[in-house]
Structure 1
């Protein structure tokens, strides 16, 4: 009896052939000691035994995933390596034996459950589990049978493998690029994604489905309802956390969340989007961050955004509003749940705006469905259609006999979704993808898409008028071309009133200006104007509007958020009873912080980083400090005191990287007058 047991076959080790497998599966950049493979593709294992392997020996591989694996739902798999028998689409086959070792080829199905698996090697009298036999199975954009298959290699390199990019922020006229380190292959990021999958409570079938996973992750990147990754905050005062302006990547956010299991304070839309891009790429779903300027938040689902003013023409708070810009995501996948033709890019949004089926999440919504106005398709297509297509409707609330009367001014049909941009494939610039989301304004296709969307709106909507008529005003309002707005300088504007008709007209003109945050919140009123002007036929009149520096500098100097000057010009034409409004946004121009260093360096090799700041403003900058986060994530502070107008401050640091890969230097300039001027520079560290 003991002799038989002594010669029974027992597994004593598994070599996951990590280097060979991860290279073939495009997973060799993950900083994780376990084997990481993509579904629908073969990988090989080398198993060692106590004696020579015979043809008659029965060897089974058992893969399990989840807390309570069972065969019925595909979380427990039993592979006969002799027969190669299929189990839930998985199969394993011995392809080579050599003495006490055998090489086993394993292939998972293209719809395998995405997650972390445990491997056991079973022989007739033994189950081998070393405690380190974990492997990860991810989506596979290189596999044609996978629902996230992406045929273009350059796109896969950008949307799956690229670890750096840009988050584009700012109004239509002044889009800024924020360097962003997605870092999907960094330490703990994959395990954080696995933890989020666990937190999602998705069933086994849903963990096969990129639609359900994308939807779950759009909820979990924000902390609303479920203690997800990031706590959003859109008002000044970031004590107890990090100012949204200071984040320059997803890695520290996800690492902190994974290690503490608590939400990270604080984030705004581009941070939610950056983190969601990281999570999707880490799991193998092609993803990109997308910025829409003049993006609508339509709470009533009527494709209108109502904007209200008081009798002084000062803007009032409203449930509907326009973001100066908003950043969400596109993810690439098939949509078998929709009619044919809606595969490809799907919009998802991790910023908690409105609840979808009881949870703060949004999407995935087919970008093609958004373009064609097919807002009845899942998920949240109506909300995202409005985000890029809603009409602005302006109202002035006047007191008549002691009661509020709502006076409707003009509607704007072309002021939402002005730019829709993302990082260009293989380039350090953005590309405009507006034509993927919208047809050209005033085209027949655009009117048809609006008609289709309106057919699904419940209740009245002013947007219907866009389909029926095009309003042509006799008066045109605007501002004379403005030079760069420099903080500390008076803002001298000229309102332009152009009479396009041949008749003389009397215009009651009003204007108001205020500082506005990027989500459309009024931070401070600046100036107002009321004047009646007589215009002759085909003439242009200019009326000055002045804003002293003292009116805005106090608020501007207290915030790191980027504020705009918003000007609203109103005209009541007495002869025609036309009521017009023209909103305009102006951006401040800040000094730049320049980082000079090599593009590449070797690990442990010293190099110099030079930081240069020039004060282009007309005022001295006081209490100037430069904060630099180097490759070791250690903080260095340089005190530059007072920097006079035209003055330059230069600082140098010596750096040496301790690990290979893309790394970055982050620098931030603060002073009493202006804060949060940042710069990021990436460097490639090689062996």
Structure 2
């Protein structure tokens, strides 16, 4: 036992040193890029390697990594695809006399038995072949002192930075006496182009979208009005791969497990947030971002990663779910793991593993926060953004591979860390909550039933269930469409709800719910809970589709007494401003009353909210929740319903002046009209564009009430091709004003 403990301490110390060295090297290299750009040899008779050529650009093109900026200084390749290097020796290599072996090392303590070290004898041949998960090296060309080697890596080898050395010696003594260490980093990534890799994605259009597309969208808004926000993923920029590798080192994933996409994805979902291991970003949902950057101010992943690396690995403030998700896309696509952002509208957060969202109200219709005993904090987020990653699942029964859900937003602990997934989308759709990982939690997010309980003195436990809503959660699940890109509208929106759940109320959907309930003891109690009382009065809360800033809105309930008797009704209507997580911030208005309805009659209740009653009380996303509660005195029938909607904000208009030619000056102008009758203060605009403009966050002047905002920024395009310029405006009163434009850059 003592020996094992001593070995673990040695291993931990080696890992700590390894991570510290990586962090220091990555930070220094990044700073140098922004401000600017062999071992002992013994044995006189042994052939010695003097120079090494990694064919960085040629290998990158063959491995679909040529868009990485770091290919100028590092070899970036994908596992399972052969690559070439060239050697120059001090004399002609003679296979009858000379012995040459290639060593590949990974991690702080490389081990052949763990798959983190490979030693290959360089032999003559036509093609290197990785057989049985082993590396292979073949000399394909020998021209006097110039040697070309083809190297085959296994399609399941660990990913990250590998180190290579060429060892030479004499055949007669079978001892390597000269070592040439290759100083350049060799990044080995996952390979969705290789059929033998578990992340293989057969469709070229999908590979282009989910691996190679460096600018996309994250969907927010509401299920009635989804709104795609442009985001610069920037997975090919110079800061990204070093940042990603450092984050993997901070995870609890052993180096020998870094060839398994399931475990890689799980590790990524943990290190994007800082909850456990000091990861990339800090989450905050209370609207107070004065000591950091508002989540709404980010336009892409690069400024976050740059700040992280410049600070030597300090978590960056602040993020919310769409920022966590977008960063996850950047990390996954950089590593070669196909990934997309996915938005679940009306997303349940089940905190007590009941597969339901339970809300409790007192006799006056006011919500009891925390429930009767203060321990129930279930909620419905207006929307929640997670990620889907593509992989096979050899650890699950056949048929559960494909898209897998991971979630980097820290919500619930999973195996002692804030992480979630990968949970099979197919398992979620079928209610197979027993499959790894975190499937019950994800199932609840898309398919929980909402239970409302109202205080009832005649009930044994003090409450009676007023409603179980089977259709409220998971109203719509959205991602970006493949091969469609829309700068000004949302024609690139793709509704994928049917992949996650069958149609609400259908036999298949109810079967999935009951299948899940069978596996969760706590859920069975609530689903069997009796719903007492005669229900002969019909209530309908009218949903609000679209309200622009400055417009009034009304909470409207239509009531119909379908009985042949008089009914006395108590009703409460409320409107609150909320965070997108569903947390109430301010009461906007409340109306209550007691009235009588004649038999077989109809009546409409209405509560109007004027602009001056809501403008100063709105928070992030400008979301409003309306809620109605009613009670029929004669029959003890209780009813409650809720709805939420965002107030529509103006778009940020972007115009480009000047010819977009590499190295030539251009100007981008950003503008919008303030829809509020009050000034916008502490104004900030964030701008960036891969190949156009490095990320900037700039303070600007206040905007007058109903005034016009405009700001211009000069830039010099750096790379040719189709590029995206993305910008976002934030202020204390109004945030998340964003826009994007496509730019075609030509060569000089």
State the distance in 2 between where 1:287 and 1:651 align. 34
Aligned to 1:353: 411
Alignment-derived partner of residue 627 in structure 1? 685
Judge conservation of contact 1:507–1:574 (CA < 8 Å) in 2.
Answer: yes
Partner of 2:388: 330
Residue 424 to residue 475, structure 1, CA distance change in 2 (3 Å)? farther
- Name the CA distance, whole Å, in 2 between partners of 1:329 and 1:633: 24
What is the alpha-carbon distance in structure 2 between the residues aligned to residue 465 and residue 686 of structure 1? 66
Q: Which moved more, 1:633-642 or 1:239-248?
A: 633-642
Q: For each residue in 1:143-179, what CA deviation from the matched residue of structure 2 results, as whole angstroms up to 9, or x when unmatched? A: 1111111111111111111101111112212222111
Identify the match of residue 220 of structure 1 among 271, 282, 295: 271
- In structure 2, the partner of 1:296 is 348
Q: Does 1:239 align with 2:290?
A: yes
Give how far 1:51 is off: 1.4
Mean Cα displacement is larger for which, 301-310 or 160-169?
A: 301-310
Alpha-carbon distance between aligned partners in 1 of 2:198 and 2:698, rounded to the nearest angstrom: 47
1:169 equivalent among 220, 223, 237: 220
User: Aligned equivalents of 2:385 and 2:534: distance in 1?
Assistant: 33
Report what 2:470 is aligned to. 413
Task: Give the match for residue 613 of structure 2.
Answer: 551
User: Separation in 2 of the partners of 1:469 and 1:340?
Assistant: 40
Which residue number in structure 2 is paired with residue 44 of structure 1? 84
Distance 1:530 1:110 in 2: 66
TM-score (norm. length: structure 2):
0.84
SS in 1 for 2:274: coil
Cα distance in 2 between the residues matched to 1:543 and 1:100: 91
Q: Is the 8 A contact 1:624 1:640 kept in 2?
A: yes
- Describe the shift of the 1:209–1:671 C-alpha distance in structure 2 as closer, same or farther (beyond 3 A): closer
Q: Please state how far the C-alpha of 1:484 moved relative to its aligned partner.
A: 4.6
Q: Which deviations, in whole Å up to 9, do the C-alpha atoms of 1:573-605 show, x marking residues without a partner?
A: 345432111212132122222112389932212
- Per the alignment, do residues 671 and 449 of structure 1 end up closer, same or farther by CA in structure 2, a change over 3 Å counting? closer
1:642 matched residue in structure 2: 704
Q: Determine the C-alpha separation between the residues in 2 that align with 1:31 and 1:472.
A: 69
Q: Which residue of 1 aligns with 2:632?
A: 573
Give the equivalent residue in structure 1 for 2:547.
Answer: 485
Give every structure 1 segment of 4 or more consecutive aligned residues whose post-TM-superposition deviation is greater than 6 Å: 83-87, 468-472
Match of 2:103 among 34, 52, 62: 62
**For the residues of structure 2 that align with 1:381 and 1:35, how far apart are their CA atoms?**
38
> How much is the aligned-residue C-alpha RMSD, in angstroms?
3.0
CA 1:19–1:202 in 2, change beyond 3 Å: closer, same or farther? same
Pairs within 5 Å for 1:475-554: 475-479=537-541, 484-499=546-561, 505-536=567-598, 539-554=601-616
Aligned match for 1:207, one of 258, 262, 282? 258
Residue 190 (structure 2) aligned to one of 139, 156, 163: 139
Deviations 1:254-281 (A, max 9, x none): 2322342111111111111111111111
Aligned residue number for residue 612 of structure 1: 671
1:105-504 matches, cutoff 5 A:
105-124=150-169, 126-259=177-310, 260-318=312-370, 319-397=377-455, 405-428=462-485, 429-461=492-524, 464=527, 474-479=536-541, 484-499=546-561
Change (3 A) 1:272 1:662: farther
1:81 matched to which residue of 2? 122
Please state whether the residue corresponding to 2:113 is helix, strand or coil: helix
The aligned length equals 676
TM-score by length of 1: 0.91
Look up the SS of the partner of 2:354 in the other structure: coil
Instruction: Measure how far apart 1:616 and its partner are.
Output: 4.5
1:595 to 642, 646, 654: 654
User: Separation in 1 of the partners of 2:403 and 2:299?
Assistant: 25
Separation in 2, partners of 1:173, 1:324: 11
Task: Give the structure 1 partner of residue 716 of structure 2.
Answer: 656
- Counterpart of 1:92? 137
Offset at 1:463? 5.8
Distance 1:365 1:635 in 2: 36
- Partners of 1:24 and 1:351 lie apart in 2 by 36
Once the two structures are superposed, what CA deviation does each residue of 1:435-474 show, in whole Å capped at 9, x if it has no partner?
11101122222122112111101235466359x9999964
Residues 28-61 of structure 1, C-alpha deviations (whole Å, 9 max, x = no match): 1111121111111111111111112234232211
Cα pair 2:303 2:696 within 8 Å, conserved: no
Does the aligned pair in 1 maintain the 2:555–2:575 contact within 8 Å?
Answer: no
| Cα shift at 1:203 | 2.4
Q: Give distance in 1, aligned partners of 2:400 and 2:365.
A: 44
Is the partner of 2:582 in helix, strand or coil? coil
In the alignment, the residues of structure 2 paired with residue 92 and residue 598 of structure 1 have an alpha-carbon distance, to the nearest angstrom, of 53
Query: Would the aligned equivalents of 2:297 and 2:730 in 1 still touch at CA under 8 Å?
Result: no
- Unpaired runs of at least 5, structure 2: 1-41, 170-175, 371-376, 486-491
Which stretch of the first structure deviates more once superposed, 284-293 or 441-450? 441-450
| Structure 1 residues 627 and 76: CA distance shift in structure 2, 3 A | closer
In structure 1, stretches of 5+ residues that fail to align are none
Contact kept in structure 1, 2:674 and 2:704, CA below 8 Å: no
Is 2:631 aligned against 1:586?
Answer: no
Counterparts of 1:294 and 1:599 in 2: how far apart (Å)? Answer: 44
Q: Structure 1 263/589 Cα, relative in aligned 2: closer, same or farther at 3 Å?
A: same
Does the aligned pair in 2 maintain the 1:79–1:87 contact within 8 Å?
A: no
Does structure 2 conserve the Cα–Cα contact (< 8 Å) formed by 1:11 and 1:126?
no
